[in-house]
Amino acid sequence: MMLRWLPIALALSLAGCAGGGGPAPSDSGQAAGASSGGRYAMSGDAYPEEPPDVSRVPDAVPRHEPRSRGGNRASYEVWGKTYHVLPDASGYVRQGTASWYGEKFHGYATSNGEIYDMYKMSAAHRSLPLPTFARVTSLDNGRSVIVRVNDRGPFHSEREIDLSYAAAARLDILDAGTGRVRVEAIDVDRWLAENGTRQGGAASRPSPSAAAPVVAQPATPSRAEVAPSAPQPAPRYLQVAALGSADSAHALRARLQRELDRPVRITQAAGTHRVQVGPLASGDAVAPVQEALRRAGFRESFIVKEAE
């Protein structure tokens, strides 16, 4: 993949985002990560020269979720400094500087154990509980996005939030590297009351990226409605992630095959690599596989058909 490197000053500002799995690393943990290769082997962050069009990536859809098992300790330490996680996000409103993080962390685990995809509407924050849905509004141009906070960072006192590549693009702060923003935690009950009905129930489900739309499942016909010659339904798959990096997609496939002992495939289109578990022969096979994925830390799988 062709990469365009960010200016050195910006690269240094992004280096503080802790994208490692589990709780944010301690000072010694960060040093260990730097010596073990991977994303820390990159001297600075970068973004694709010809990335997918993220202007149509939808906002994250607020919904009730339990706290993540990872990344929610009451306090944690990074680079010798202690940070405290809020007991809840109610009423949280702050103004400050937003930065963003991209290729260096793309495809790696976030602080709550999910896989970071820079083409989804997500963010990192030092103190908001994981996950938290937040509205981020640019104070320079008035643009606004809703993100799902699932990571820890940025670890620079002058920064308020680290946005995903997609969120930063929507707010038009990619080239500048930073921007002035207001961050408001969303009251999910209020949001559902105001938006749930006209969202057609989507508020209770994860919001997929534009690159991997959810396909509505057809209603199951009764036995009387099925003719003897009716064709067999197309195989179904559970999509776990849509990643821009082929290497990250193959690494995730290998991990899922170990965790689930099931076939996992990768489909590729327009530079996006979709990691999917299956085929699943019938709807009865979906629930136990989704439960196994949740136990493995993947909460946002959704069904796609073979035709996709």
151 and 243 together in one domain: no
User: pLDDT per position in the chain (308 positions), as tens?
Assistant: 333 333 333 333 333 353 333 333 322 222 223 333 444 334 455 566 666 788 888 999 999 999 999 999 999 999 899 999 999 999 999 999 999 998 888 888 899 989 999 999 999 999 999 999 999 999 999 999 999 999 999 988 789 999 999 999 999 998 899 999 999 999 999 999 988 644 444 444 444 443 444 334 444 444 334 444 455 566 788 888 888 788 788 888 888 888 877 788 888 887 788 888 888 766 556 778 888 888 777 777 778 776 44
- Do residues 47 and 178 share a domain? yes
Could you give the C-alpha distances from 276 to 242, 266, 293, in angstroms and in order?
Answer: 9, 6, 11
Verify that 179 and 234 share a domain, yes or no. Answer: no
Q: Is residue 173 part of a domain?
A: yes
Which residues make beta-bridge pairs with 276? 239, 265
**Is 264 in the same domain as 139?**
no
Q: How far apart are CA 120 and CA 147, in angstroms?
A: 9
Residue that the structure tokens 């990643």 belong to: 243
For residue 38, the model assigns a pLDDT of: 40
Domains of the chain: total: 2
88/105 Cα distance (integer angstroms): 27
Query: Could you tell me the residue range of the domain that residue 181 belongs to?
Result: 3-191
pLDDT at 26: 29
DSSP summary character for residue 262: S
pLDDT score at 43: 45
Q: Nearest 5°: phi and psi at 82?
A: -95, 135
Q: Can you give the pLDDT at residue 299?
A: 74
Q: Kindly state whether residues 102 and 216 are assigned to the same domain.
A: no
In a domain, 162, yes or no: yes
Cβ contact 260:290 at 8 Å? no
Q: Look at residue 256 and tell me if it is in a domain.
A: yes
Q: CA-to-CA distance for 178 and 224, rounded, in angstroms?
A: 61
Distance CA 63, CA 250 (A): 30
Residue 216's CATH number: 3.30.70.1070
Residues 271, 168, single domain; the answer is: no
pLDDT value at position 71?
93
Q: What per-residue confidence (pLDDT) applies to 47?
A: 60
Residue 198, domain member (yes or no): no
Boundary-marking domain end, from 191, 224, 254: 191
- Domain at 173, CATH number: 2.40.40.10
Gyration radius from the chain CA atoms = 20
Sort residue 91 into left (φ over 0), alpha (ψ -120 to 50) or beta. Answer: left
* Alpha helix positions (H), the chain: 8-14, 27-35, 165-170, 188-195, 246-260, 286-295
Residue 202 lies in a domain: no
Per-residue pLDDT, 279: 81
The last residue of a domain, from among 144, 161, 191: 191
Q: What is the pLDDT of residue 91?
A: 95
In a domain? residue 197: no
Give me the phi and psi of 151, to 5 degrees please: -145, 165
DSSP track, 8-65? HHHHHHHTT-B--SSSPP-HHHHHHHHHS-GGGGSSS-EEESS----TTPPPP-----
Same domain, 243 and 279: yes
Q: Are residues 81 and 7 in the same domain?
A: yes
pTM: 0.55
What's the pLDDT score for residue 221?
A: 43
- Note whether 144 and 12 are same-domain residues: yes
Judge if 80 and 112 occupy the same domain: yes
- Domain membership of residue 250 (yes or no) is yes
- Residues 234, 275 share a domain: yes
Are 33 and 68 contained in the same domain? yes
Among 142, 159, 191, the domain boundary falls at 191
Contact 72, 25 (CB under 8 A): no
Peptide bond into 23 cis (omega under 30): no
Query: Is 204 contained in some domain?
Result: no
**pLDDT value, residue 136:** 97
Distance (Å, whole) CA 15 – CA 8: 11
